[in-house]
């Protein structure tokens, strides 16, 4: 059930820019990111089809002069932080102006060859950058299916969820410095693990390396210290969403997590996709959220609770495979029990302040079926049910040389809102 419509771009809108029908970046998307252009300028950008849009060039030509972005110098920068701090009226106005300039019947950009050459850049000649300078990173644990699977494995089905899980969005503070961009290799971590039936730990490479299929959102203006963000105002502080792979070393985690939770098991790498997909672009794909029982405390209750219909998949490409790998899991962001507004409201209810560019991740997104489980821990059920791959290979956990590819999209009527990819290939652990 669609509860909202996109105020900026009609579902049947078309651009003068040639966009393939299966492109993840039609005029209905217009995401935001940061890139190094072919002229070596690092700029805030958007995208349509296979073209990168230089927003600083449009700004210099005066096309944002009558918007809230005017005079704020938001685009001639290597990250989205200042743009994110400007707030929803500015985000919406810039995206709306982009849609108007790119429309099929709009001559301003279409018929000005000089301006078009300055603004539109072939994506094959562009290097994407981290979209944000990330000050803080928080990872939640918001999929009931995932939490139930893990609790069933390590406790028992009758006590799969701990007593607090249905009352608050469980989370932990991650490591912002090791958040990396799509395509960055990930080194297998080393650390302490406890062998079966051993009395003392050993040190060495993780043998149970895993991925986690997640979504994340970037914060916008933020709140002052001591002033929580109300749940029904939270979307004014969310610029948009990205794909997240929160890599995990399960054997290191097993030994270290009592009593304070993950530490070295997750601090070595978190991969994100480069494009921030706005809440306006995702608005047509909002759905009624899952029934929350028991009813949350008042600060987590929403007047219009919603989730997002974002289709997700994980592909695994081993060293012996050709092509784009083998899809091993398909899930959907609608499976999240706690939504992004509740996550942000809970994070700030103590008065904790957020800042532009903070990253909040959902936690592993698993669905109700075996093929919708969002981690190797679940897909191979703690290694007891190896995953069969084409060519006769099997995986209980990730091997050196494996490449994990996360993809996500929303399927509209005749168009697709895509997130791109979050890729990472596993490198061997350092020796010594």
**CB atoms < 10 A from the CB of 2, how many?**
12
Is 146 tagged catalytic? yes
What lies within 8 Å, CB to CB, of 33 at 6+ separation is 44, 45, 46, 47, 80, 128, 129, 131, 274, 275, 276
What lies within 8 Å, CB to CB, of 197 at 6+ separation is none
Radius of gyration of the chain (CA): 22
List, as one string, the DSSP characters of 187-211. Answer: EPPEEEE--TT-SS-EEEE-SSEE-
Greatest Cα pair distance, the chain, in angstroms, is 74
Separation between Cα atoms, residue 316 and residue 69, nearest integer Å: 42
Q: Which of 63, 121, 146, 347 is catalytic?
A: 146
**Which stretches within 213-364 are classed as H helix?**
250-256, 279-282, 340-348
**CB atoms < 10 A from the CB of 4, how many?**
15
Active site residues: 146
């Amino acid at each position: 059930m669609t509860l909202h419509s996109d105020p900026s771009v009609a579902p049947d809108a078309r651009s003068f820019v040639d966009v393939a029908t299966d492109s993840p970046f039609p005029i209905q998307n217009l995401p935001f990111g940061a890139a190094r252009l072919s002229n070596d300028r690092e700029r805030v950008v958007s995208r349509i089809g296979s073209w990168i849009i230089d927003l600083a060039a449009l700004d210099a030509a005066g096309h944002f002069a009558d918007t809230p972005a005017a005079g704020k110098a938001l685009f001639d920068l290597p990250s989205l932080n200042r743009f994110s701090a400007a707030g929803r009226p500015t985000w919406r106005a810039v995206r709306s102006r982009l849609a108007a300039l790119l429309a099929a019947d709009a001559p301003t950009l279409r018929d000005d060859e000089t301006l078009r050459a300055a603004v539109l850049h072939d994506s094959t000649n562009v290097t994407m950058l981290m979209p944000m300078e990330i000050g803080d990173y928080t990872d939640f644990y918001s999929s009931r299916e995932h939490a139930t699977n893990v609790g069933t494995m390590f406790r028992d089905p009758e006590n799969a969820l701990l007593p607090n899980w249905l009352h608050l969005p469980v989370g932990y503070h991650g490591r912002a410095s090791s958040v990396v961009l799509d395509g960055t290799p990930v080194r297998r971590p080393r650390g302490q693990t406890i062998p079966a039936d051993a009395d003392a730990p050993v040190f060495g490479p993780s043998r149970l390396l895993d991925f986690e299929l997640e979504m994340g959102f970037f914060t916008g203006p933020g709140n002052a210290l001591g002033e929580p963000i109300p749940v029904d105002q939270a979307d004014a502080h969310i610029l948009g969403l990205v794909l997240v792979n929160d890599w995990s070393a399960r054997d290191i985690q097993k030994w270290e997590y009592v009593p304070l939770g993950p530490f070295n098991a997750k601090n070595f790498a978190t991969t994100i996709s480069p494009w921030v997909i706005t809440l306006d672009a995702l608005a047509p794909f909002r759905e009624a959220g899952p029934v929350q029982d028991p009813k949350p405390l008042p600060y987590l209750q929403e007047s219009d609770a919603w989730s997002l219909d974002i289709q997700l998949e994980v592909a695994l490409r081993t060293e012996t495979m050709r092509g784009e790998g083998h899809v091993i899991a398909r899930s959907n962001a609608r499976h999240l029990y706690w939504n992004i507004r509740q996550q942000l409201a809970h994070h700030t209810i103590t008065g904790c302040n957020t800042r532009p560019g903070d990253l909040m991740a959902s936690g592993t997104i698993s669905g109700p079926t075996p093929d919708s489980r969002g981690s190797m821990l679940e897909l191979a059920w703690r290694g007891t049910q190896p995953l069969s791959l084409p060519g006769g290979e099997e995986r209980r956990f990730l091997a050196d040389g494996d490449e994990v590819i996360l993809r996500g999209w929303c399927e509209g009527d005749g168009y697709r809102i895509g997130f791109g990819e979050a890729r990472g290939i596993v490198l061997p652990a350092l020796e010594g």
